[in-house]
Structure 1
């Protein structure tokens, strides 16, 4: 018999795309899944799940995500907004299980407040006592003064919602008994140290879009896909250098510039170039020979699942962690910082002609194809005692 499952996340595609196929599989199995979603995310989420609408401060707040002094207050505001809405849902229509993104503090707190089991999802590298993404790859910019003020604000919020048994430090650093890492254990740094509380699954890759660009992508060979994701993408020099390097090879290029970059700012481009704010990424990767990317884990997994080697130019610390693991597994390379058009062209030639790398990528692609990540995700959620 199906049960009610509540999913809490932050409004970020890199945290939603990796779980939507797994949540859809739970619906297919007869469960009812409610998903917190704000603004521009509700339409896509609503195609397969029941939407719990809310107004997220993250949709309207511009902060430097590398500055913890700005990020922490924003995350508290996000938690406050999400918790208020979700607590009403839990009271009116209690779920049997809460599935909560690692950055959704509201999900973990709801589990504590209402004594409900929580399954934490990790669309980024997981952390334990042996490896911490925050400590190993993130540069701390907060000060003792800013942390003191933050913990004081957290304590006031916890008292306000009746969770004074939770310490402010736990808001920032807490553990869950049930965890789903949305990627294979081989990618996880120190993966062998993660115990039975962590289930590593094959990535849940969203379906191909079947977009109008498919005919162009199919005939534009060889093709390089260029993207910096949806957050750190206002890098005109990066795109210009990439397009110049790809042009030196006589290749085609499809570049997702993001919504804040004017294509005219890139300057003249070859007729072999497609510039667009967003790409139908799965369609593009299915026709690509290489991907030049920021190294977001979701974007990287989407490329590797199609057998496409990745060249990574990290924009933040966690993406450097992804680049390190990709290099260690022989599935791509870290780009120099900075890199030139000549260096990029040479690296594209290297990875596209590397037969040993191609064999490793084929094995990774076959593993993803054969493993059924959405089914593994649903199995892990259903296995949680309730």
Structure 2
């Protein structure tokens, strides 16, 4: 490595939708000769390590499927509290690991923003916050999460700060987000972000996708039928009845349906399947989407961005209130048909599929969005911006 090589520490939550967008960025940084340290649980250590990063093994206190089932009340408060408690639980580990090898910068997912903000202040190094999902403001207020949850959050943050010898008001930036941190958003600028209107440090890099292993490529059916990809993501996917609904929606239609059920779902729980429906725990999305004419999903950012990157329109069935904002944007852009939670049924899905197929403007809008996404820069731009930010901030300190 040259004298300009940097040591960059990434911090994230053990959830595929948050981890996956970072891997191409890490891979790009390592390719350029920089060193990346990345804490990862056993479930994700191999995948993180495949980027060339140094894996820091740890056990997380967070389990998204356990802690945030569909219908969770005040999910934002619970996410924020779980993030600061993850910081408390990992303080000794990170202190020991980085004691003699302090990073030159910290890059952190918004889910664990308290870890990133505190360590950036503690180590006095530049910080980069990542936005893989959602359009929620960085500014946490009692109105957003309730007075009781806000008081509990402040108490836990004070405990976390005391463990690390820092001032909580300074380390956590009055709960308004770090004004000096670079913000990398994993979707394109047309989607915007509420805080970007007053913060010029937002970079809309778009989806950051790794090159898939050609040996794992999915092969389209010999029938030549149009392909539909069905996915409910990996965090709120344990709904076999919703997968069954999707199967029923395509019955009698000349489609080949590929269902990615995700972890924790036995394909057998969906029931007997027609010959033109295949199920997998996991499929290489890019490979399937090269052939797909349609995606049916719950509105998770990862599935949505993969689909739009491939120029594939969507039927979106948001299962959480957190996905409603993105779903509305997709409908406004004309790239999706959205089915509300109270309206979700096999007949509604079927009607949306037929509507998209009959409306040429949907495919035209999706192709326009695809071009916009591919102009956003992806992992190469994200790495460029991170390194430029680190150089600027380091020189100014």
TM-score normalised by the chain length of structure 1: 0.89
Within the candidate set 27, 34, 57, 1:31 is matched to: 34
CA distance in 1, matches of 2:286, 2:303: 10
307-316 or 280-289: bigger deviation:
280-289
Conservation of the 8 A alpha-carbon contact between 1:151 and 1:168:
no
* 1:1-386 mapped onto 2 (5 Å cutoff): 1-48=4-51, 49-59=53-63, 62-64=66-68, 66-68=72-74, 70-104=78-112, 105-128=114-137, 144-166=147-169, 173-177=176-180, 178-189=182-193, 193-210=197-214, 214-216=218-220, 221-337=225-341, 338-384=343-389, 385=392, 386=394
CA drift at 1:74: 2.9
For the structure 1 residues 17 and 219, does the alpha-carbon distance in structure 2 shift closer, same or farther, using more than 3 Å as the test? Answer: farther
Determine if contact 1:120/1:176 at 8 Å carries over to the other structure: no
> SS of the counterpart of 1:119?
strand
Q: Partner of 1:342: helix, strand, or coil?
A: helix
Per mean C-alpha deviation after superposition, the further-off stretch among 259-268 and 36-45 is 259-268
Q: 1:122 to 1:212 in 2, by over 3 A?
A: closer
Q: Which secondary structure state, in structure 2, belongs to the residue aligned with residue 18 of structure 1?
A: helix
After TM superposition, give the deviation of residue 347 of structure 1 in Å: 1.1
- Against the structure 1 CA distance between its residues 211 and 332, is the aligned structure 2 distance closer, same or farther, given a 3 Å change threshold? farther
Aligned residues: 379
Q: By how many angstroms is 1:352 displaced?
A: 2.7
1:262-291 deviation per Cα after TM superposition (whole angstroms, max 9, x unaligned) = 222222210111112222222222221111
SS at match of 1:56: coil
The gaps in structure 1 that reach 5 residues or longer are none
Conserved? CA contact 2:117–2:171, under 8 Å = no
Aligned equivalents of 1:284, 1:207: Cα separation in 2: 14
In 2: Cα distance, 1:19 partner to 1:28 partner: 14
Are the equivalent residues in 2 in contact too, given 1:39–1:59 (CA < 8 A)?
no
- Residues 81 and 172 of structure 1: is their aligned pair in 2 closer, same or farther, counting only changes over 3 Å? farther
Measured in 2, the distance between the counterparts of 1:270 and 1:370 equals: 40
Instruction: State the shift of 1:361 in Å.
Output: 1.8
Deviations 1:205-244 (A, max 9, x none): 2323435562245756211111111111122221111111
Contact 1:119-1:176 within 8 A present in 2 as well: no
Is the contact made by 1:83 and 1:106 (CA closer than 8 Å) also made in structure 2?
no
The separation in 2 between residues aligned to 1:38 and 1:171, in whole angstroms, is 30
What is the CA-CA distance between 1:171 and the residue it aligns to?
A: 7.8
CA distance in 2, matches of 1:154, 1:14: 26
Separation in 2, partners of 1:179, 1:60: 24
Residues 94-142 of structure 1: per-residue CA shift (max 9 Å, x gap)? 221111111122111100111111011111245558xx7x89xxx97x6
CA distance 1:237–1:72, shift in 2 (3 Å): same
Q: 1:371 Cα deviation (Å)?
A: 4.7
1:183 touches 1:200 (CA, 8 Å); kept in 2?
A: yes
Distance 1:296-1:194 versus aligned 2 partners, 3 A rule: farther
User: Do the aligned residues in 2 keep the contact of 1:155 with 1:168 (CA within 8 Å)?
Assistant: no
In structure 2, C-alpha distance between the alignment counterparts of 1:16 and 1:292, rounded to whole Å: 22
Deviations 1:133-170 (A, max 9, x none): x89xxx97x66445434432332222122123437975
In the alignment, structure 2 segments of 5+ residues that lack a partner are: none
1:116–1:191 distance in 2 versus 1, CA, 3 Å: closer
> Could you state the TM-score of these two structures normalised by the residue count of structure 2?
0.86
| Cα separation, 2, equivalents of 1:269 and 1:30 | 49
Q: Is the 1:38–1:54 Cα contact (8 Å) retained in structure 2?
A: yes
| RMSD of aligned alpha carbons | 2.7
Q: Distance in 2 between matches of 1:22 and 1:85?
A: 25
